[in-house]
């Protein structure tokens, strides 16, 4: 990853235009600092060997920063993810562009794979306030202003690409703060049962999500003929 865009000549004109519009909006120190301070998790920042502002002096490239922090493999996909993280495009636009780039996170299969694809990770759309998993809507936040903490947690998972664990995005809370447990309890109460669940990480600093495995049905033993 050297910060240069891979060839876009084969992409649809609308996709090229979206990438070309997003690139200058994210390619500056102000955007990079916003990414570092408010979008990257503590785990993301630990992947760099220097603190801010030395990070920008060393790399001077927001695409390379994103690649190091999140591991997104191509420059074009990095542009899309950064633009989404910084609020320049919404969740629907992000998925549409990633689909066109063959890098969609909604599918357990590569783009263009045959058969019905099943989402390997959840997807939170902050515009519609819907959480989807395995091609199903599993949670809708009806009153987002009253559920600010839940929305913040789901936004943090989405921005991080749905790793197993994230740091608590609601800064300033102590490890013993019971509101963290109440947030997770309220989040789980509204979930469609039997697909996934959220939990505190056990040390009072973050959250985890887990898919719910369906128990394997026991095969009946074949009866021997008498």
Query: pLDDT tens digits for the chain (226 residues)?
Result: 544 445 556 778 888 899 999 999 999 999 999 999 888 888 889 899 999 999 999 999 999 999 999 888 899 999 999 998 888 988 778 888 888 887 765 544 343 333 334 456 888 888 899 999 887 899 999 999 999 999 999 998 888 888 889 899 988 888 888 899 999 999 999 898 888 999 998 888 899 999 887 666 555 656 666 6
Task: Please tell me the total count of domains within the chain.
Answer: 2
Q: Report if pTM > 0.85.
A: no
Domain residue limits at 152: 123-211
Does residue 217 lie within any of the structural domains? no
> What distance in Å separates the CA atoms of residue 30 and residue 8, rounded to the nearest whole number?
26
Instruction: Give the list of residues 6+ apart from residue 133 with CB closer than 8 angstroms, or none.
Output: 119, 121, 122, 123, 195, 196, 211
Question: Is 5 within the bounds of a domain?
Answer: no
Task: Report the 3 state secondary structure along 116-144.
Answer: CCCCCCCEEECCCCEEEECCEEEEECCCC
The last residue of one of the domains, among 70, 101, 132, is 101
- Final residue of a structural domain among 46, 70, 101: 101
Rounded CA separation 207/173 (Å): 13
């Amino acid at each position: 990853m050297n910060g240069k865009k891979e060839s876009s000549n084969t992409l649809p004109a609308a996709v090229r235009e979206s990438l070309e519009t997003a690139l200058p909006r994210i390619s500056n120190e102000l955007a990079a600092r916003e990414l570092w301070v408010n979008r990257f998790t503590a785990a993301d920042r630990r992947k760099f060997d220097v603190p801010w502002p030395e990070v920008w002096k060393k790399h001077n490239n927001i695409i390379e920063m994103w690649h190091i922090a999140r591991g997104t493999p191509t420059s074009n996909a990095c542009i899309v993810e950064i633009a989404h993280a910084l609020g320049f495009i919404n969740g629907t636009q992000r998925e549409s562009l990633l689909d066109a780039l063959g890098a969609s996170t909604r599918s357990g299969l590569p783009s263009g794979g045959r058969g019905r694809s099943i989402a390997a990770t959840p997807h939170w759309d902050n515009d519609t306030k819907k959480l989807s998993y395995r091609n199903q809507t599993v949670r809708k936040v009806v009153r987002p202003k009253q559920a600010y903490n839940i929305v913040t947690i789901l936004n943090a998972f989405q921005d991080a690409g749905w790793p197993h664990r994230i740091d608590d995005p609601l800064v300033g809370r102590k490890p013993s703060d019971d509101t963290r447990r109440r947030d997770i309890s309220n989040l789980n109460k509204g979930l469609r049962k039997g697909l996934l669940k959220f939990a505190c990480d056990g040390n009072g600093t973050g959250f985890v999500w887990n898919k719910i495995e369906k128990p394997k049905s026991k095969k009946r033993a074949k009866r021997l003929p008498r």
